[in-house]
């Protein structure tokens, strides 16, 4: 399994949000996390990604054979956990190209203890940009500043394609995206067989396009047993 969650209890402040969550995800899966609003889906993916707002009261999160329950979000990201969140911040003063260069350089150094040459980075970036049909002038704009919801999703895809994570967590990637971008997201998910996807969606057409290999449903902070 690429991800195993065992008897996980999660709280926010003094409120318990998740109780006794058990979940196993196979490598290469496109695993849908379903449930009504408030069922705990975003809490669960946030806990997996290492959001410090959530407290893990008990249980384990095992990623790629390693217990990451107490690891911080940065370490989890460098290990290969990607989070495409619903709401992403604007970062004035930081260009997209600089953000991506620092991100990829950090991954390269973590994985191989070597630096990422600028020429290699620019070649990777150009290939990914062309694949996603992203205008070149976007790269010199500040992260998410002045971009529409659909454009932000396309920038999320650019980061996804470049980092090639082991596990990509996508929290409602279809939200705020038009039909063309939703199709592009689904196509990218199918084109990355070495990446496992855990995603949340409330839109049947997008879910059908992704064609999930597995479905787990949450209700009131617990896994529903069918």
pLDDT for 86 equals 81
Which is more confidently placed, 65 or 85?
65
CATH architecture entry for 3-223: 3-Layer(aba) Sandwich (3.40)
Question: Exposure pattern of 1-24 as b/e (b: 16+ CB <10 Å)?
Answer: ebbbbbebbbbeeeeebbbebebe
* Helices within 113-174 (DSSP H only): 118-132, 149-163
Distance CA 136, CA 73 (A): 30
**What is the CB-side half-sphere exposure of residue 92 using CA atoms within 13 A?**
1
Q: Does the pLDDT value for residue 219 go beyond 80?
A: yes
Ordered by start, the domain boundaries in the chain are: 3-223
Q: Using alpha carbons, list the distances in angstroms from residue 100 to 24, 87, 104, 130.
A: 31, 19, 6, 16
Contact assessment for residue 139 and residue 114, using Cβ atoms and an 8 Å cutoff: no
* Strand bridging mode 196-200 / 167-171: parallel
pLDDT for 176 equals 81
Q: Does the pLDDT value for residue 28 go beyond 90?
A: yes
Q: Does the pLDDT value for residue 123 go beyond 70?
A: yes
Whose tokens are 């070149």? That residue is: 136
pLDDT for 175 equals 86
Distance CA 115, CA 47 (A): 30
Q: What is the pLDDT of residues 129-182, one digit of tens each?
A: 999 999 999 999 999 999 998 899 999 999 999 999 999 999 999 888 889 999
Short-list 32, 23, 33, 18, CA closest to 1: 23
Contact assessment for residue 46 and residue 198, using Cβ atoms and an 8 Å cutoff: no
User: Using 50, 70 and 90 to split pLDDT, how confident is the model at 22?
Assistant: very high
pLDDT for 149 equals 87
Distance CA 90, CA 20 (A): 35
């Amino acid at each position: 399994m690429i991800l195993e969650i065992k008897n996980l209890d999660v709280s926010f402040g003094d409120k318990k949000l998740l109780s006794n969550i058990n979940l196993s995800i196979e490598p290469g899966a496109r695993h849908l996390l379903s449930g009504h609003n408030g069922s705990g889906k975003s809490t669960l993916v946030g806990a997996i990604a290492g959001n410090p707002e959530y407290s893990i009261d008990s249980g384990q999160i095992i990623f790629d054979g390693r217990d990451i329950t107490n690891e911080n979000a940065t370490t989890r990201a460098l290990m290969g956990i990607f989070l495409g969140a619903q709401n992403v911040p604007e970062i004035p003063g930081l260009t997209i190209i600089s953000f991506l260069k620092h991100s990829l350089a950090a991954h390269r150094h973590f994985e191989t203890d070597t630096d990422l040459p600028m020429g290699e980075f620019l070649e990777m970036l150009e290939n990914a940009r062309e694949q996603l049909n992203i205008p070149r002038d976007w790269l010199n704009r500040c992260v998410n500043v002045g971009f529409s919801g659909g454009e932000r999703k396309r920038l999320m895809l650019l980061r996804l394609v470049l980092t090639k994570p082991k596990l990509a967590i996508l929290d409602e990637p279809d939200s705020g995206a038009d039909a063309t971008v939703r199709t592009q997201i689904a196509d990218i998910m199918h084109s990355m067989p070495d990446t496992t996807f855990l995603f949340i969606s409330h839109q049947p057409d997008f879910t059908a396009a992704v064609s999930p290999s597995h479905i787990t449903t949450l209700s009131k902070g617990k896994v529903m047993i069918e």
